[in-house]
């Protein structure tokens, strides 16, 4: 069985089936959130209405406005990480404004913080048996890291985040949330932005040594656009996200704007970079026999002071029906190795429209254009730093009459000064990703949500090695690689909440995920270059290659959560996953999950017990899930195609031929 993109149309019917909703009488709820200890306003508080799909956040002055609230009594809830949740019941009248002010009390552990990752719908953390870490967007923006994944370092317990190089633009950042589960597949988690699975590949299209030019594509996301990040490490996430979540899930939520007066935010940051410590070199004026010699320390030539300039501008606001966020940023960085640089320009637009009291539409779009200049700095023979450290200090790399001397006899290193001055390895990336989300709530206890997302980018990488500068490429080499990547997501979920008496509540969810991904890579290269030629067309021995990979994943899942007296929760989930990378006899896989959470500290007997005297809050949780690792694209034989060809041609015409 092969899964085809046209099935998206059938799956979309899951969410778009509801007919047009007639208008209802509505009112407005507004108020202000303050800190109980200081009386100061509390920003970024999530305000929701129980049973409705309305959600806003408080502004810098602590004020909020909930638009288009259906008439009648409603429970309004205010939540923020680090504070205990607060609730109020208000009576909403037609075309009138109800006021609900909140005073939040700071707590060490917020059991009522609402998360989405690992749950089919927004869920308080007290319900979940899995461990979820939440990182505030303000902490990400204030981090000195250039990229989102690097900014998570030190913010997520148990996560191993390693930067593989110091290249401008963030370098290659490796994120590991769980232990190694496969010696073939990678260990990177699944990344989701606003409900859309995005490409976070870090393939090295051109080898500059020691993966020195590897760059995780998550570097395309602007940290200033982040509202919050949720991270789940357990295998239980596979019940909702399938085999792709075997290594954990990182879900990123961008800023959506809030109702109220428009707010402009301008940020500018200038950072200097440098080598923390230079290595001592042998600069003794004589050799082992006592003969005078001239020695060289090239660290002043291969290192420089780098700098980073970041500028961002955003505006957000809205009214009782429409909220918006528009942001743009520009980043320019020069690395500590001469001629290494990176620049990025990005823009984001997020719009949310409450079409009817029961229907909300959200749009998001992000455009990114980046340019990088790489320099070989790894451990191989082309590495600038390697050549400086392993070549005798008596050898001069400085050019003589415009010609760079080669490494000493027996050494295969390239001249590091020639590499910096003449080699080229630029990269250009153009990327667009966005989503359309619709949420339909025909009844307070019933909701349907559908998301259609797209992520596409073009990555062009070139490399030029001049003639005679490298022993392994004596005639020079020119390479041009173009990668085109596209991902389409189609996700739908239905949730239903039913309260059976005063003690028992059931929450049911069912949904599907469909992902189509196509990666096409085209390579053109040539050796035996003309003395003044840099392009592939200047070579006499060309090489061409092309590869296309198409991956399709389809999954269905169901989840049930039993809530007993709002303190004991049991959740069971089951997912059926199919992928084009699975073998024909193993096309469908099943991933179950079972978890429980028990808030012991809310039992009446807890306060007078010994644990109650030791702990102000106590929750016991456990989760068990099964996950399988999705095979690499090499196993998708029906959807993988590749071909290459090498030929030779003469530059001059031979009359005898």
Q: DSSP of 192-214, one letter per residue?
A: EETTEE-------SS--STTTT-
Q: Which residue has the tokens 């690792």?
A: 629
User: How does pLDDT run across 620-652, given as a tens digit for each residue?
Assistant: 999 888 877 777 665 554 555 555 555 544 444
Residue 321 has pLDDT above 50, yes or no: yes
Q: What is the mean pLDDT of residues 395-404?
A: 90
Residue 657 has pLDDT above 60, yes or no: no
Confidence of residue 95 (pLDDT cuts 50, 70, 90): confident
* Amino acid 113: pLDDT: 60
| Tokens (6 digits) for 236 | 């239980």
User: How does pLDDT run across 69-83, given as a tens digit for each residue?
Assistant: 888 899 899 988 778
* Amino acid 654: pLDDT: 38
Name the nearest CA neighbour of 239 among 616, 654, 625.
625
Q: Which residue has the higher pLDDT, 226 or 179?
A: 226
Report phi then psi at 150, rounded to 5. -70, -30
E strand spans, 240-321 = 249-254, 260-273, 306-318
Residue 103 has pLDDT above 50, yes or no: yes
* Amino acid 53: pLDDT: 64
What pTM did the predictor assign?
0.79
* Amino acid 216: pLDDT: 76
Q: What is the mean pLDDT of residues 314-340?
A: 91
* Amino acid 118: pLDDT: 58
Q: Which residue has the higher pLDDT, 615 or 484?
A: 484
CA 601 to chain centre: 36
Where b means 16+ CB within 10 Å and e means fewer, 195-233 reads bbbbbbbbeebbbbbbbbbbbbbbbbbbbbbbbbbbbbb
CA distance 140 to 224: 8
Q: Which residue has the higher pLDDT, 510 or 12?
A: 510
88-102, 179-193, 376-390: the lowest-pLDDT one: 179-193
Q: Environment class of residue 238 by beta-carbon count within 10 Å: exposed (0-12), middle (13-18) or buried (19+)?
A: buried
* Amino acid 538: pLDDT: 82
* Amino acid 652: pLDDT: 40
């Amino acid at each position: 069985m092969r899964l085809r993109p046209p099935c998206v149309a059938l799956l979309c019917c899951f969410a778009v089936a509801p007919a047009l909703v007639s208008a209802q009488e509505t009112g407005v709820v507004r108020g202000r959130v303050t800190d109980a200890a200081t009386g100061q306003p509390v920003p970024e508080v999530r305000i929701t209405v129980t049973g409705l799909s309305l959600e806003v956040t408080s502004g810098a002055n602590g004020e909020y406005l909930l638009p288009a609230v259906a008439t009648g009594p409603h429970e309004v809830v205010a939540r923020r990480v680090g504070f205990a949740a607060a609730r109020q019941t208000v009576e909403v009248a037609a075309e009138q404004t109800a006021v609900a002010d909140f005073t939040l009390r700071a707590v060490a552990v917020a059991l009522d913080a609402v998360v989405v990752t690992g749950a089919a719908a927004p869920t308080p953390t007290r319900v979940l048996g899995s461990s979820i870490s939440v990182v505030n967007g303000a902490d990400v923006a204030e981090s000195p890291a250039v990229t989102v994944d690097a900014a998570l370092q030190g913010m997520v317990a148990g996560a191993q985040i390693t930067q593989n190089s110091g290249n401008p633009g963030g370098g290659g950042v490796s994120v590991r949330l769980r232990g190694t589960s496969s010696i073939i597949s990678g260990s990177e988690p699944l990344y989701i932005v606003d409900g859309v699975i995005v490409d976070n590949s870090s393939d090295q299209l051109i080898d500059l040594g020691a993966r020195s030019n590897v760059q995780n594509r998550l570097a395309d996301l602007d940290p200033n656009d982040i509202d919050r990040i949720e991270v789940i490490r357990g295998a239980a996430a596979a019940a909702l996200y399938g085999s792709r979540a075997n290594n954990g899930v990182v879900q990123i939520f961008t800023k959506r704007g809030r109702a109220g007066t428009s707010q402009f935010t301008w940020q500018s940051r200038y950072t200097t970079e440098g080598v923390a410590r230079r290595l001592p070199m042998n600069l003794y004026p004589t050799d082992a026999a006592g003969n005078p010699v001239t020695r060289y320390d090239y660290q002043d030539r291969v290192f420089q002071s780098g700098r980073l300039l970041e500028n961002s501008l955003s505006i957000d606001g809205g009214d009782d029906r429409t909220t918006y966020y528009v942001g743009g940023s520009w980043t320019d960085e020069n690395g500590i190795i001469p001629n290494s640089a990176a620049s990025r320009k990005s823009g984001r637009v997020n719009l949310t429209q409450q079409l009817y009291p029961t229907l909300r539409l959200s749009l998001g779009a992000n455009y990114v254009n980046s340019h990088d200049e790489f320099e070989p700095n790894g451990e191989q023979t082309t590495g600038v730093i390697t050549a400086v450290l392993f070549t005798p200090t008596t050898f001069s790399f400085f050019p003589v009459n415009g010609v760079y001397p080669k490494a000493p006899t027996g050494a295969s290193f390239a001249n590091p000064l020639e590499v910096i001055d003449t080699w080229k390895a630029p990269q250009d990336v153009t990327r667009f990703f966005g989503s359309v989300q619709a949420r339909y709530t025909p009844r307070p206890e019933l909701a349907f949500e559908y998301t259609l997302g797209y992520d596409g980018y073009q990555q062009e990488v070139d490399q030029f090695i001049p003639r005679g500068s490298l022993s392994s490429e004596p005639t020079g080499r020119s390479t041009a690689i173009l990668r085109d990547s596209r991902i389409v997501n189609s996700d739908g979920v239905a949730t239903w909440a039913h309260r059976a008496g005063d003690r028992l509540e059931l929450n049911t969810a069912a949904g599907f995920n469909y992902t189509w991904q196509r990666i096409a890579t085209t390579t053109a290269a040539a050796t035996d270059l003309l003395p003044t030629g840099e392009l592939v067309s200047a070579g006499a021995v060309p090489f061409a290659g092309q590869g296309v990979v198409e991956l399709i994943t389809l999954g269905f899942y169901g989840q049930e959560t039993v809530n007993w007296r709002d303190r004991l929760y049991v959740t069971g989930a089951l997912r059926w996953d199919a992928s084009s990378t699975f073998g024909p006899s193993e096309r469908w896989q099943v991933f179950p999950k079972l978890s429980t959470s028990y808030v012991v500290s809310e039992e009446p007997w807890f306060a007078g017990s010994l644990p109650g005297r030791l702990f102000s809050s106590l929750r016991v949780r456990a989760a068990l899930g099964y996950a399988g690792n999705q095979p690499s694209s090499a196993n998708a034989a029906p959807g993988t195609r590749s071909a290459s060809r090498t030929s030779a041609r003469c530059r001059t015409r031979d009359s005898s031929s």
